Amino acid sequence: MLKHRGFPGRLPGTDFQFIIRRPNPKGVTPITRRERFRDRKPADKRADAGFMKALVEAFGDQPFERGNLDAGRLSWLFGREVLPVDDPFDPESYESLLVIDVEAARRSFPEAFEG
């Protein structure tokens, strides 16, 4: 499992994690598309925006390996702002490649592209 050095471990001041420390001994948590409903808590929305900002700063528009990025956090963005590169995509592989759809990410999280 690739460890993304320098990537923030969590949203500052919260318990919303962005990376995992070690592979899950019970098996890899799959990445699945999760629906973001309008009534989500503001803290959850901030965590999504913070994670997207960290992804943009780390990878930009280049493909990246899932590695130790948190599957749950990726799942909130998967299929919209974060897309699979591989075809077929293996949602249970730490080596799966992903890429940011910059236009979709800019529409959903404009603050991720500021400053």
Total-model pTM: 0.91
Half-sphere exposure of 70 (CA within 13 A, CB side): 21
Distance of CA 74 to the CA centre of its chain: 3
pLDDT tens track, the chain, 115 positions: 889 989 999 998 888 999 988 877 788 899 999 998 888 899 999 999 999 999 999 999 999 999 999 999 999 999 999 999 988 999 999 999 999 999 999 999 999 888 6
Identify the bridge partners of residue 35 per DSSP, sorted by sequence position.
none
